[in-house]
Amino acid sequence: MSMPPVGSQPRGGTLAIVGLTLVVWIAEEWVRFLVCLRLGRPHIHVERQVHDERGPVVTLWAGRSFEVIVRVSCAGRLPMPLVVIDDRFPFGVEFTEGITHAAGWIGRRRTVEVRYRLRCQAPGPVRFEGVRLRFADLQGFIYHETFIRQPRVYPVLPPLVDAEANQRTNKRHNLLPPPGIHRLRRAGSGSELLDLRDYRPGDPPKMIAWKPSARKDKLITKEFESEVPVRCTMFVDVSQAVRLGPPGKNALARLIGLSSAVAQAALANRDNVGLAMFDEAESSSLRPARGQRHLVELLRHLAEASRLPPSSSAADLESLLPIAYAFAQEVYSELLDNEVNSFRWWIPILFPRPEYLRKVTLTDAILPWWRRILISEWQQQAMRKRLSAILAWREGYGPGGMALLMEDDQYFGDALQRFLADHHVPHPAPLYDWRGRYVFRSEQKVSVLATALLRSVRRGQDNELFVLLADLLDMNDQLEPLLHSIRVAMGRHHRIMLIVPWMPGIPPPGEVLPVHNERTMLGWLRSATIQRYHESFEHLRRELGRVGVPVICAEKGQPAQLILDKMEQLRVAGITR
């Protein structure tokens, strides 16, 4: 039997020492990672700036690109691990160039910065939720992910136009003309000089320009500009029916863009422009005025209304739950942790929801009750319980409020739609209820519009223009309150126009209707929809034409120029009257 040499160690002891060293080192790195992360996370600071060509801005413009700069730093004393930051890109904008993520170390003198450019496609608020942080050690053994919520909303105003309602390519911020240059280029009794002409018999002597007359050795008369402003009030429909469709491409976006173009062109002509927005329940108004401050306020009102999402009383929880839960996992990940928001898997099996609280859905018709309990019901109850806890925390409800969200489908559907709307998350909206009735048909909208029109008539003056931008195609039997208000306005020497939004994909009135040879349900449904739209538009045109109100399709011709031409006719009528 041979003995090992003196001073040598067995091979197993060497491996044990190396393994123990690795375990101690990994444990030390893990403890250091957790301590630095736990003590440094409250001191993480996120700074966000949006720049244009001139510097930081707080208001964006549709159709233009802006640079977003995000800086992440930490004011803690302990060094933070390696971090990868990822800025969450907002909905409704277009990414143009740059990157939304970066890696590095953050500290008191160390900052990780992200730069990228985006383009605002349509007016409306743009919401930045925050920054996602992923911490890891250099070897990649330890990893932690968190989300720093820093919601910030930037209003996106409609694009600037000139006095002819055409989009401007220069002087984007100089909305008013320079001093001494005006838009009302016609003779009148104003104070600004328009032109010099030869003297005609009958001209008042005070209008003679004596110095030019002495130079030309004949009498010269001065002509001054007209100071006859026209008052115009636009009634914009912001009801649920015009909100359907993708944000920025629906009927509401078309009405907002048209209102913005008319308002800017009219204010450039030194006219008074007012705004009234209405829906199924109420209306808000902005009295006619002029000036740059009034224009900015009017554009802000239009921008706030342009991104209103549709909300239905018959919300489809099967389609909204996955969307809301996926968004909550990304933004409210710490509130979905099992330590603070857990769910017991045996609750839907031992204590299922009563049948009288359940709405009949497609899943109920396809799957038997036992498969619904074992598969679909458990997943939906788990997502619903955790989302109910988040909704109750956001809206300030107590435990009773969370129980109400768990049991009442109507209450939970409304809260879920508000949650998605507050974060500007696009979501589908059902057009018909389970009985086949159109959900977004509202007869109260006509009464609200008629009341708002009468209120403007009481406050208005003679020779004023009221532009109704409303979807009244399905209200042929409920037009009597509006017709009464129109007769009152016409009796006070006002003028009224109606601009009707049009559904994308349907030919405008006056064009040749396409012939669908396909004998399918989709083809028949499309033909019936087109025919119903055209018949409703013709009926609306006949009813309002009897009281002298022109009805114009928003997708045909140039409705903005037609409105401006109508204002010019009223201006001439005000001069000659």
| pLDDT tens-digit series, residues 139-191 | 888 888 999 999 999 988 888 776 555 655 444 434 444 554 444 554 555 55
Query: What is the set of domains in the chain, with CATH numbers?
Result: 26-157 (2.60.40.10), 187-225 (no CATH), 231-308+458-576 (3.40.50.410), 317-422 (no CATH)
Render pLDDT for 415-451 as a digit per residue (tens, 0 to 9).
Answer: 898 899 888 888 887 777 666 677 777 778 899 999 9
pLDDT top residue among 186 and 490 = 490
Return the beta strands (E) in 432-550 as ranges: 464-469, 495-500
Distances (CA, A) of 68 to 71, 106, 126, 147: 10, 19, 12, 19
C-alpha 293 chain-centroid distance: 22
Render pLDDT for 291-346 as a digit per residue (tens, 0 to 9).
Answer: 888 988 998 888 888 878 887 777 778 888 999 999 999 999 888 888 888 887 77
Compute the distance between CA of residue 43 and CA of residue 85 in angstroms, rounded to an integer.
Answer: 16
pLDDT top residue among 4 and 282 = 282
Compute the distance between CA of residue 203 and CA of residue 34 in angstroms, rounded to an integer.
Answer: 92
- Here the tokens at position 232 are 């115009």
Phi, psi of 560 (to 5 degrees): -65, -45
Give the rounded percent of residues in the chain with a pLDDT score beyond 70. Answer: 83
Q: Region 112-133: what's the mean pLDDT?
A: 91
pLDDT value for 407:
81
Mean pLDDT rounded to a whole number for the chain? 81
Q: How confident is the model at residue 131 (pLDDT cuts 50, 70, 90)?
A: very high
Compute the distance between CA of residue 13 and CA of residue 375 in angstroms, rounded to an integer.
Answer: 53
